[in-house]
Amino acid sequence: MINRAAHLLLILILFSIQLATAAELNVPDDFATIQAAIDAAVDGDNVVVDVGNYVENLQLKSGVGVRGVEAAQTFIEPEAPADPVILASSIDAVLLANFTIINALIGLDVINSTNLQVANIIFDSAEQIALQVDVDSQVDVLNTVFWSNSIAIRRTTTSEVQVTNSGFIGNTATILGPVAPIIDPDKNVDNCGFFDNADLKNSGVDEGLGTDAVVADPQFVATDAFDFHLLQDSPFIDMGIGTDVIDNSTADIGAYGGQFADAQPFPVDAPVVADVSGAAPPPYSIKLDWSGNFAYLITNTVLPGSYRVYYRQNQSGPPYDGTDAGNGASPVDAGDNTTLTLTDLQPAIVNVTVPLLLSAEPRSASVIVSWEAVTGATDYRVRYGIASVDEHQVDAGAVTSLSVGGLQNGTEYRFVVSALAQPVYHFSITAVDSTQNSNESVFSPESTLAIGPLTESAHSNELTATPDDTTPYPDLPDKGCFVATAAFGANWTAEVQVLRDFRDRFLITNRPGREFVRWYYQNGPTAANLISEYDAVRPFVRALLWPLIIVALFALAASPAVILSLLMLCLILIVGRPNKITGTMFRQYLMRLGK
């Protein structure tokens, strides 16, 4: 035990000297990928990786440390799944720390490498091997969690692979070696935790557990959320070797113990916010509720952690520098509670610019009104009427178009839109641990709430539109193209679909076209009934429709300039072999529809 503690102390001294003199290369601020930062680093540098999900296969470099900011939220998964997520080949003096490795066949493969420190890593569900070390390598594994892997560690040597303060939970196999020579699974395994591993069966037998093992449920906070912090009653607390950097107590077993642990608490979820101002504000009040952080340094019953409520008006994201709550300026200390009401808020009046009304498109008994978005608007109000726009109004919400229904066909309506603005508060929560350093989590996801006086802009420009009745009469099951449906035998044929698309795009979008469609809907059913009654007429009607179909195809598929240039060609094609020509065009058109 004394020799092992001295060995750990020497490692810490050496790497502390390296960290103190090293340059930092930040990912993704300075480099888009971890590998790019490693490639650019020189001996003695450290690559510092911010939280995020990094899809790449890494090759470590001698003398270059690679460390995540927060293990629980800094993920590495392979870009090439068949390769190791991280390869350490012929390297020396490297610290790899504070990552969660996911979706791996092999997590870390160590070949012919020395003085490699693997600290505070979470190997989650490797399909083959989480950590593989060959006979020529020397590795120290410190405060690492092996969770639900096929094989946690496969080592071909014991004297040069030291495992300390690490947790083995839910693995098929914990520590394996080659069949010959037999490698003692107990050797150089100190103060580790074991639970629910298939090869050990929680028997309490010393085989494969090393010295001073803890065999018990580690009580992680939330493994499904990759939160491997320890609950207050965890048997892994203070059961390791050395000192925890987080609270200067005896080191915990697991990814949040030892001298290389990241101290940030796991962030909480976005708060639920509600207006509790009462019936006649002001004053204005907002209640916030959030789920707690259950790590023992937050929930400790003797010395609990706390939460901070950050807020600001009318601008998202940090700095949350609000000052108007009666509780005080942001952040407001909530203690160890998971609810807080901000009182006596003073939301300021928001000025909002006038939106631009872009279009008013007529439909049957309705008009679709569209406008440009306005910065700061929380709602839009559409006003409309026949003699005046002030006859009717409807609030559309935070959108930029609205279908106004219940209108009279054949009657011209006038439309304007105005923007509505209301102060919007933005909120975020952080968790703070109970240590002497009061380590604080990153911000929770943001929540917002509009509250306070409502401001309406002036009216936009005015547009007019006249709804028109284009409903088939009588309303037959094929919804319109009666003659074509009767001629070609079904309403789902390609020929009928082309004519429908031509109607929707080129006819009902203008007054003459709508008049033609109305006439057709009144007279088409009679012609369709005659065609259906006399089968001999169908080929003649199809021949009459082919020119219209070809023209419709060109109109739908080409630009206006191309349409004009091909009109003469259309006439020639009509006289020629329409079935073969239009068959090819149909296929191209329908393929485009499928996209």
Q: For residue range 334-382, list pLDDT tens digits in order.
A: 999 999 999 999 999 888 999 999 999 998 899 999 999 999 899 999 9
The whole-number average pLDDT for the span 495-509 is 75
Q: What's residue 463's pLDDT?
A: 96
Q: Is the pLDDT of residue 491 over 70?
A: no
Q: What's residue 472's pLDDT?
A: 45
Which of 211, 210, 165 is CA-nearest to residue 183?
A: 210
Q: Which CATH number fits domain 272-347+428-449: 3.90.1170, 3.10.660, 1.10.10, 2.60.40?
A: 2.60.40
Do residues 102 and 108 touch, judged by C-beta distance below 8 A? no
Give the contacts of 401 (CB within 8 A, at least 6 positions apart). Answer: 368, 369, 370, 371
Q: What's residue 510's pLDDT?
A: 73
The whole-number average pLDDT for the span 308-320 is 95
Four-CA torsion 562, 563, 566, 568, nearest 10 degrees = -150
Element of type H or E holding 150: none
Read off the pLDDT band of 2 (50, 70, 90): very low
- Amino acid identity, position 319: P
Burial letters for 186-219: b for 16+ Cβ neighbours within 10 Å, e otherwise? Answer: ebbbbbbbbbebebbeeeeeeebbbeebbbeebb
Give the contacts of 480 (CB within 8 A, at least 6 positions apart). Answer: 472, 500, 503, 521, 524
Do residues 427 and 273 touch, judged by C-beta distance below 8 A? yes
Q: What's residue 593's pLDDT?
A: 46
List, edge to edge, every strand of the sheet that includes 306-313. 332-335, 306-313, 424-432, 447-450
The whole-number average pLDDT for the span 93-115 is 97
Partnered with residue 369 across adjacent β-strands are 360, 402
Q: CATH 2.160.20 occupies which residues in the chain?
A: 2-230
Which tokens go with 153? 């560690």
Give the pairing of strands 189-190 and 193-195. Answer: unpaired
d(CA 189, CA 200): 15
Q: In angstroms, how far is the first alpha carbon of the chain from the final one?
A: 68
Q: Is the pLDDT of residue 213 over 70?
A: yes
Which of 22, 124, 32, 116 is CA-nearest to residue 71?
A: 124
Q: What's residue 495's pLDDT?
A: 73
Percent of the chain with pLDDT over 70: 83
Q: What's residue 470's pLDDT?
A: 53
* pLDDT tens digits along 214-267: 999 999 999 999 999 999 999 999 999 999 999 999 999 999 999 999 999 999
Give the angle subtended at the CA of 375 by the CAs of 369 and 380, to the nearest 5°: 35
Q: What's residue 90's pLDDT?
A: 97
Q: Is the pLDDT of residue 490 over 80?
A: no
The whole-number average pLDDT for the span 546-571 is 63
Which tokens go with 572? 């020639």
Q: How high is the mean pLDDT of the chain?
A: 86
Q: Is the pLDDT of residue 565 over 60?
A: no
Q: What's residue 447's pLDDT?
A: 98
d(CA 241, CA 259): 10
Top-level class of domain 357-423+456-465: mainly beta
Of 544 and 445, more confident = 445
Of 7 and 36, more confident = 36
Considering the domain 2-230 in this protein, what is its CATH number?
Answer: 2.160.20
Q: What's residue 440's pLDDT?
A: 97
- Of 196-205, 359-368, 381-390, 434-443, the one with minimum mean pLDDT is 196-205
